[in-house]
Amino acid sequence: MIVAQNLTKNFGKVEALKDISFEIGRGEIVGFLGKNGAGKTTLMRILASYLSPTSGKVLIAGKDIARHSLFARRNIGYLPETPPLYTNMTVREYLKFAARLKDIPPARLRPSVDKVMDDCRLRYVQNRLIANLSKGYKQRIGIAQAIINDPEILILDEPTSGLDPVQIQQVRKLMKDIEYKRTVLLSTHILSEIEQTARRILIVNRGKIIVDQSVKGLLGQYPGLTLEDIFLELNPPQAERADD
Amino acid sequence: MIKIFTIVQKELCAYFKSPIACIVLVVTVSVFNIFFYMIIDQNREATLRDVFQVMEFMFVFLVPLFTMRVFAEEKSTGTMEFLMTTPTSNTAIVVGKYLGSFLFFSLIVSTTLVYYLVIEYFGHPDRAATATGILGLWLEGGLFVAVGVLASSWTRSQVIAAISSYAILFSLYFSITFSKYVSAPAQEFLQYFSTMTHAANFSVGVVAPGDVVYYLSGIFCCLFLARISVENRLWR
Ligand SMILES: Nc1ncnc2c1ncn2[C@@H]1O[C@H](COP(=O)(O)OP(=O)(O)OP(=O)(O)O)[C@@H](O)[C@H]1O
Ligand SMILES: [Mg+2]
C-alpha cells in the first residue's frame, strides 16, 4: 500500500531523514517511535505529500505521489502534529469545510459530518467556536477531519496527545474497528499505546530507521524486557546531541 | 470548480469574522466619504475623477492590510498543512483565495456607487466616464489584490507580507514619477509599467484594450507566481 524508497530530507544543513526505505501493506497498523527530533513528523509530512523529499520517492497503491499527488491526497487522512484548525469557525462549519474539500458529494455532507461528530464525541460542542475549546477537543476535531471521508490510509501524528483517558480508549477502539480494513500509521510517545494498537513498530533515530519489526517479534527478541526498556536500550540518553 | 467556490466562501467568511477586515472596511468608507465631500465642495463639479484618484492612491496603502493574512495566517497557524493535504489543486487554492479577497475589495469599490447617485441627483455627470472610472478602479484594485496575495504566499509572517506588498505596489504605482530621471526608452517602459498611466485613461472615459490587457496580464502573472510559490513551499 505504502512504499518508501530511499527517502532523504535536508533542511539546509540539517539532515532530518537519511535514506529511509520501508513497505507497509494494506490493513497494517504501524507505530512510529523515536525521540524528539528523530524525524517522525518530517517522515509523515512527506508521506502525506505536504513536504517533498530531497531525494527518493513514495508510492501509494503503486503510484508515485510526486506525480499523482491528488490521487494520493484523496486516499490519505492526515492528522498533523498540531491540529490544523480555523479558530474562527464553529466545529460544524469546520468539518463541513473539510468534507467539501475532501470531495464528499453535497448530498452526503450532512450525514458524514454528523457521523464523524458522533464518532469523536463532538456533538455537544458542535456550534461552539473552535478558538474557545480545550486542547483535547481540538485534537478530536483534528482526528475527525482526518477520518471524515473514510480514507484508505490514515496518517496520525501523535493522535492521542492531550486526550483524556476515556478519549484515548476511544481512539484505540477506533483503531481496532478499522484494523485490517484501513492502513494506519501513527506516531506516539506513549509506548503502551503502541503495544495495544500497533502490530508493527518502526523506530526512527536521527533520521534513520533502526528497528522495523512486529511488536511480538521485538518483545520476543529481548525476553523479559518491556517495550520501554527496549526503547531506552536502543536510544541511549547520552547519544543526545545539539542537533537532536 | 466547486472547490474554488468553497474556498471563496471560506475566505469571505473569514473576512467578516476578523476584526482587521471590518476595521479596514469602516475606516476606508469613512475616509472616502470625507474626501468625497471635500473634493466635491472644492471643485463644484459633478465629476468623480478626482475622487477616483484619491481612492486609487488610498488603495495602495489599504489593499496590503487585508491581503497580508491570505496565506501568511494559514502558514503560521498550521492550517496550510491541512489545506495542502486535502485533494485540492494548488490552482484552486490560489484562485479561490484571490477571488475571496477580490470580492471583499469589490465591496469597498461598490460604495462608490453611492457617490455616483449623489452627483447624479445634484448635477449632470458624464455617465460613461464615471462607469469607466469605476471599472478602472476595480481592475487596478484587482491587480493590487493579486500583488498582495502573491506577497502573502512568500512568508509566514503577516508583517513581512504587508511590507513586501508595499514595496511592490509603491514601485508599480510611483514608477511614473521617476521617469523623468531616466533615458527615453526606460522612460517609456516606466510609464507603461505604472498603474497610474493606465487608470488615468479609464477616468476620462477611455477603455483602451492595452490598459485592460495590462491589468489582466498583471493579475494572471501574480497568481501564476503565487501558485509556483505555494506548490514549491517557497516560504520555508
Ligand atoms: N521546517 C524545518 N526547518 C528546519 N529544520 C526542520 C524543519 N522541520 C523539522 N526540522 C528538523 O528535522 C528534525 C526532525 O524533526 P521532526 O519534527 O520530524 O521530529 P519528530 O520526530 O517529529 O520530533 P517530536 O517527537 O518532537 O515530534 C529536527 O532536527 C528538526 O529540527
Ligand atoms: Mg513530531
Is residue B49 within 8 Å of residue B129, measured between CB atoms? yes
Q: Say yes or no: A70 contacts chain B, CB-CB below 8 A.
A: yes
Block mean pLDDT (10 aa), chain B, length 236: 91 87 84 86 78 87 91 92 93 95 91 81 81 89 95 93 94 80 77 78 81 91 94 73
pLDDT per residue as tens digits for the range A74-86 = 999 999 999 999 9
The single-letter code of the amino acid at B19 is P
Strand order in the sheet with A29-33: A76-79, A153-157, A183-187, A29-33, A200-205, A208-214
Q: Where are the domains of chain B?
A: 2-232
In-domain check, residue A142: no
Interatomic CA distance for residues B97 and A225, integer angstroms: 54
In-domain check, residue A143: no
Pocket residues for ligand 1 (CB within 6 Å)? A 11, 14, 16, 34, 36-42, 81, 243; B 236
pLDDT per residue as tens digits for the range A13-47 = 888 999 999 999 988 899 999 889 899 999 999 99
Residue holding cell 479609464?
B202
Model pLDDT, residue A154: 93
CB atoms within 10 A of CB A19: 14
Model pLDDT, residue A58: 94
SS3 A185: strand
Closest partner residue to A102 among B2, B86, B233, by Cβ? Answer: B86
Whose alpha carbon is nearest atom 17 of ligand 1?
A41
Q: If you measure from the C-alpha of residue B80 to the centroid of ligand 2, how many angstroms do you get, rounded to a whole number?
A: 17
CA distances to A4, A35, A202 from A22, rounded to whole Å, are 5, 19, 9
Q: Could you tell me the pLDDT band of residue A141, with boundaries at 50, 70 and 90?
A: very high
The total number of structural domains in chain A stands at 1
The DSSP call for residue B52 is: H
Model pLDDT, residue B4: 93
pLDDT per residue as tens digits for the range A53-68 = 999 999 999 899 989 9
Which residues does A25 contact at the CB level (< 8 Å), separation at least 6?
Answer: A1, A183
Alpha helices in A48-164 (DSSP H): 69-74, 91-101, 106-119, 135-147
Model pLDDT, residue A138: 92
Interatomic CA distance for residues A152 and A183, integer angstroms: 6
Model pLDDT, residue A239: 53
Model pLDDT, residue B236: 59
Instruction: Give me the domain span that covers residue A67.
Output: 2-84+155-234
CATH number, position A223: 3.40.50.300
Quote the pTM value: 0.91
CA distances to A130, B172, B190 from B197, rounded to whole Å, are 47, 10, 10
Give the ipTM. 0.88
Which residues does A72 contact at the CB level (< 8 Å), separation at least 6?
Answer: A49, A58, A60, A63, A65
